[in-house]
Amino acid sequence: MSENYKKLINDTIKTIINQFHRKPDKFFNEYDFHQYFYHAFYKQKEFSMQYDTKDGKKTIVLHPEYPTLKKFRRNPPMVDKNGKRARYDMAILNPEFIKQNEFEVVRCRDISKIKPWEKGTSKNLIAAIEFKFIINHSKKHIQEIKFDNLKLSYAYEAEEKYILIFANIREKEKEIDYFKDIKRDKDIKIYYLAVFNENGKKIIIKI
């Protein structure tokens, strides 16, 4: 992946973090956050530029809810060849992957059309990104984050991997360590930012 793409991804993530830091109440729910996230990336011309597939269809590199190649079971989180394919919250496709393959391969719905990617093979994706928006601390989020972490651990088709977690808690609550039992993968970059209100004042508690 070119260093230009890598810098653009990291700069855009910093923009999203700074926006949440300054205006956490701008987002009511995770859907709000998904919309802003897509917008922040799409306005970069490198992520909204169109490329032709091998069979002449046009598409861009930025795609939400992009299918995984591995199959999983959610509870407990594990790889399961008899399970179901999951989806990345956001994928940034490799332009070369788009140009060298037909449209049906690029959109990745039919797994039979995809080569069996494993460690050390070429990368279909520049980045696979998972994000979580939390308004109430809950242990259920631990399971969800474990599953996101598992998906990315087996995202051999992605060059860069990110988990972004944002929490806007209305009042100070007992903090939960969402990463205590997670087996960390050195290739996954994790960002966590939480704010809460105390006597009407915004407090940043972790980044």
Condensed to tens digits (0 to 9), the pLDDT of residues 162-197 reads 999 998 886 666 677 888 778 878 899 999 998 877
pLDDT of 137 reads 83
d(CA 113, CA 196): 47
d(CA 141, CA 139): 5
pLDDT at 67 exceeding the cut of 80: yes
Q: Please, which pLDDT band fits residue 146 given cuts at 50, 70 and 90?
A: very high
Q: What is the mean pLDDT of residues 121-147?
A: 89
Burial status of residue 164 (CB atoms within 10 A of its CB: 0-12, 13-18, 19 or more): buried
Phi then psi dihedrals of residue 6, to 5 deg: -60, -45
Single-letter residue type at 175: E
CA angle, 27 then 89 then 105, to 5°: 150
pLDDT of 60 reads 97
pLDDT at 118 exceeding the cut of 70: no
Q: Please, which pLDDT band fits residue 53 given cuts at 50, 70 and 90?
A: very high
**Which residue ranges make up each domain of the chain?**
3-193
Q: What is the pTM of this model?
A: 0.91
pLDDT of 201 reads 66
Q: What is the mean pLDDT of residues 29-48?
A: 92
Which secondary structure element, helix H or strand E, spans residue 31, and what is its range?
helix 30-42
pLDDT of 44 reads 93
